[in-house]
Amino acid sequence: MISPLDFRADPAFEAASVFAADWPLCQIRFQDDARFPWLILLPRVAGAVEFEDLSPDQRALLTEEIVRAGALVRELGALRDQPADKLNVAALGNVTAQLHIHVVGRRRDDPLWPDPVWGRPGAVPCTTATRQTALSHIAAF
């Protein structure tokens, strides 16, 4: 596993998300889209593209971190009075090969329901206050 100090996220993540925290396995990024509470987990494992690139222990830890991220996404939605009706969890990697997992809180009244959020235009950047509140909450979680 790569240390947090040496880990680099693919530049594609820098464009639409913000570093939020380092958990035991993953760098946690906050997706800057006010429409959804959304985290991205990046396992700090050199060359990881698929789940099979992780050791069994790393896969187990990743699963726990996904569950933790889901609970956090629900809290982030509640902070914005946008409680999640459903969590979407996916590791697509069709555009960015670096292994990453999206955890997105969805609501039946969100602008894309019931369609997927990935690859859709229309992202709305968070206000500075909303982003800072989310980042503070993530850091304390």
Contact assessment for residue 105 and residue 77, using Cβ atoms and an 8 Å cutoff: yes
Contact assessment for residue 58 and residue 1, using Cβ atoms and an 8 Å cutoff: yes
CATH number at residue 96: 3.30.428.10
In a domain, 1, yes or no: no
How confident is the model at residue 112, as a pLDDT? 95
Please name which of 50, 31, 41, 10 lies closest in space to residue 135, comparing C-alpha atoms: 31
In a domain, 6, yes or no: no
Q: How many domains does the chain have?
A: 1
Contact assessment for residue 126 and residue 34, using Cβ atoms and an 8 Å cutoff: yes
pTM: 0.96
How confident is the model at residue 118, as a pLDDT? 87
Q: How confident is the model at residue 129 (pLDDT cuts 50, 70, 90)?
A: very high
C-alpha of 108 from chain center: 20
Residue with tokens 């530049």: 11
Please name which of 82, 116, 88, 119 lies closest in space to residue 101, comparing C-alpha atoms: 88
In a domain, 110, yes or no: yes
